[in-house]
């Protein structure tokens, strides 16, 4: 990481749109699995976070010279948290930023007093899966679901918090 990375949690006007567009842009090279339907799915989940969840949780935005290079979120789901929207630009991968964002989200969940965090992911995201496993997430189940217009294997993982 040559230029300094700034991580912030205070959302500014336009940040939610940036988060959605960021997913569309990063996954644009895989139009079969992560095409426009995926970006719409992310938009729906972000809207749900704000409109139906009263923004109960926190979003971390990692920026370098004002450019979004990474993100993660922890969303309240009753008495537990859901890790969402963990994503980095390709040039930021392998430098510890993803792990740092996930650890910040897990610390937030622990501060909230949640006993458990869960996440949903898909096959092929090996770097993310490596982070999740190293941090103690375990696979609960895998099942095929119709998401963003295609049949997708969804991997459900949980982590107990101390």
Write out pLDDT tens, residues 16-73: 999 999 999 998 876 556 778 889 999 999 999 999 888 899 999 999 999 999 999 9
- Residue 1 pLDDT exceeds 50: no
Q: What is the dihedral of CA 39, 45, 48, 53, to 10 degrees?
A: -150
User: CA 104, CA 69: separation in Å to the nearest integer?
Assistant: 16
Average confidence (pLDDT) over 7-23: 96
Say which DSSP state 92 is in: G
| Longest CA pairwise span in the chain (Å) | 41
CA–CA separation, 64 and 91 (whole Å): 12
DSSP H or E run through 113? none
More confident residue, 37 or 14: 14
The pLDDT value recorded for residue 145 is 83
- Give Cα 126 distance to the centre of its chain: 14
Collapsed DSSP state (helix, strand, coil) of residue 57: strand
User: Is 5-160 a CATH 3.40.50.300 domain?
Assistant: no
Q: How far apart are CA 14 and CA 34, in angstroms?
A: 22
What confidence score (pLDDT) does residue 138 get?
Answer: 97
DSSP classification of residue 68: E
Across residues 77-92, what is the average pLDDT?
Answer: 95
Does the predicted model carry a pTM greater than 0.85? yes
Render pLDDT for 122-160 as a digit per residue (tens, 0 to 9).
Answer: 888 888 999 999 999 999 999 988 877 778 889 999 999
């Amino acid at each position: 990481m040559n230029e300094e990375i700034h991580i912030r949690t205070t959302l500014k006007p336009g940040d939610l749109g940036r988060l959605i567009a960021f997913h569309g842009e990063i996954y644009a090279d895989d139009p079969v699995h992560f095409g426009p339907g995926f970006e719409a799915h992310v938009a729906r989940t972000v809207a749900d976070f704000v409109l139906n969840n009263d923004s109960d949780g926190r979003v971390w935005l990692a920026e370098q010279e004002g450019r979004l290079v990474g993100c993660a979120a922890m969303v309240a789901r009753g008495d537990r948290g859901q890790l969402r929207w963990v994503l980095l630009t390709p040039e930021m991968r392998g430098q510890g930023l993803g792990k740092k964002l996930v650890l910040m989200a897990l610390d937030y969940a622990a501060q909230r007093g949640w006993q458990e965090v869960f996440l949903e992911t898909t096959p092929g995201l090996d770097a993310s899966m490596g982070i999740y496993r190293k941090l103690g997430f375990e696979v609960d189940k895998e099942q095929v679901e119709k998401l963003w217009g295609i049949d997708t294997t969804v991997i459900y993982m949980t982590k107990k918090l101390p």
